[in-house]
Structure 1
């Protein structure tokens, strides 16, 4: 997911996407613990996407207050 894609999303869409990524991160963590994880790079990508969404969400919330 690119930052430009995230910036075009509404606050509700960001919240939904964040919930989806958190669920995926949870599942990936279990797959890694049980040895079933095949694509280890996906863990890093999901973590970065979560951080990206949180950052853009906070920026948008700050703009809404101002």
Structure 2
């Protein structure tokens, strides 16, 4: 999922996707331990998706803080 696609989602949807990605990473770790994992590149893809989701959430938090600070000054 690209960052532009993530930005179109609501905050609740992003949090839901983040939870799903974290669960997927946990499943991948279990598969690796049990020897069932075939595509090890999924680790990297999942970690990067988690990072993208967290980055966009943080961008929204910062934007909300800026807006509330601007409203406080006015």
User: Fold match, TM over 0.5?
Assistant: yes
| RMSD of aligned alpha carbons | 0.7
Runs of 4+ that moved beyond 6 A: none
Structure 2: state its 5+ residue gaps: 67-74
TM-score, normalised by the number of residues in structure 1: 0.95
Q: How many residues of Structure 1 are paired with residues of Structure 2 in the alignment? A: 66
Q: Which one has a bigger Cα radius of gyration?
A: 2
Q: 1:1-66 residue pairs with structure 2 within 5 A?
A: 1-66=1-66
Structure 1: state its 5+ residue gaps: none
TM-score, normalised by the number of residues in structure 2: 0.85
